[in-house]
Amino acid sequence: MSNILACSQVISGESSPDLLERIATGLEALEIRPSERALSLLAAHLLLVEKWNRAYNLTAIRDPAEMVVRHVLDSAAVLPLVHGGRLLDAGSGAGFPGMVLSILSPGMATILVESNTKKARFLDYAVRRLGLGAQVGVHWGRLEAYHPDREFDTVVVRALAPLKRVVALTSLLLLSGGRLVVLKGRREELDRELLELGPGWRIEKFPLSIPGLTAERWACVMERETGA
């Protein structure tokens, strides 16, 4: 099934024009201008999350308008920090941020890793339903048991574990010169967790301004130092 046909079948409710507009307006505020295909895919994915959420509790957020801000835009805000052609979303949940980043970067190969059975089943369904199987793969299982044939240019993590644990789980999944992008809330929390890390990392911290969200958000970009 083509992406366009799949999206047209998913986006069939009365709320879809408003949802598309909310996503487009928010992305424009982030200086991201998606194609019509990408915009339709983002809306269709969000509507699938809403539908499955009624039975499977994929996310505590129920309102699609709030999902736009807290999931889609929050995920899209780190797009400028992603580099390379291979992306791993560690602990993807309902596909945030990995599915969003992949849709906005159609040339990028993405793997979504999720240990929760219901969430992994949803991800697999969403990828197939939206016709993204050539670009997005789903691995059901624990991150520490995941051993891919190739490492990744970027590993992105959102609300998975404390930073020290995240590094332990993901550092071997990165290519030499790859980067780990970790999304955090308050700067105070991020700084405290950075103090617990050992040496060997080059670290940059970026404040994120999410349209419609007043809560503090930060991205921490980590790269291995040469020889570490």
User: What residues contact residue 84 under an 8 Å CB cut-off, 6+ apart?
Assistant: 108, 152, 153, 154, 175, 178
Secondary structure of 57-83 in the HEC alphabet? CCCCCCCHHHHHHHHHHHHHCCHHHCC
Full set of structural domains in the chain with CATH: 3-224 (3.40.50.150)
Work out the average pLDDT over 43-68: 91
Q: What's the predicted TM-score (pTM) here?
A: 0.91
Tokens standing for residue 90: 């560690």
Average pLDDT of 210-217?
92
CB contact at 8 A, 41 and 130: yes
pLDDT for residue 9: 52
Between 14 and 179, residue with greater pLDDT: 179
Q: What does the mean pLDDT of the chain come to?
A: 90
Higher confidence at residue 11 or residue 126?
126
Residue 4 vs residues 7, 8, 11, 178: alpha-carbon distances, Å: 5, 6, 10, 33
- 145 in Cβ contact with 188 (< 8 Å): no
Compute the distance between CA of residue 55 and CA of residue 139 in angstroms, rounded to an integer: 22
CB 112 within 8 A of CB 138: yes
> What DSSP assignment string belongs to the chain?
--HHHHHHHH--STTHHHHHHHHHHHHHHTT----HHHHHHHHHHHHHHHHHHHHH---S---HHHHIIIIIIHHHTTGGG--SSEEEEET-TTTTTHHHHHHH-TTSEEEEEE--HHHHHHHHHHHHHTT-TTTEEEEES-GGG---SS-EEEEEEESSS-HHHHHHHHGGGEEEEEEEEEEES-HHHHHHHHTTS-SSEEEEEEE---TT--S--EEEEEEEPTT-
For residue 5, the model assigns a pLDDT of 47
Between 195 and 16, name the one with better pLDDT.
Answer: 195
What local confidence, expressed as pLDDT, does residue 227 receive? Answer: 58
pLDDT of 207 reads 95
The predicted structure's pLDDT at residue 13? 47
- For the cut 80, the answer to whether the pLDDT of residue 12 exceeds it is no
Whether pLDDT at 84 is above 60:
yes
Query: How confident is the model at residue 199, as a pLDDT?
Result: 85
**More confident: 75 or 197:** 75
**Residue 228: per-residue pLDDT:** 55
pLDDT at 42 over 90: yes
**Spatial distance between the Cα atoms of 224 and 177, rounded to a whole number of angstroms:** 7
Q: What is the pLDDT of residue 3?
A: 53
- Mean per-residue pLDDT, 167-183: 92
pLDDT surpasses 90 at 146:
yes
Span 99-130, pLDDT tens digits? 999 999 999 999 999 999 999 999 999 999 99
d(CA 157, CA 43): 22
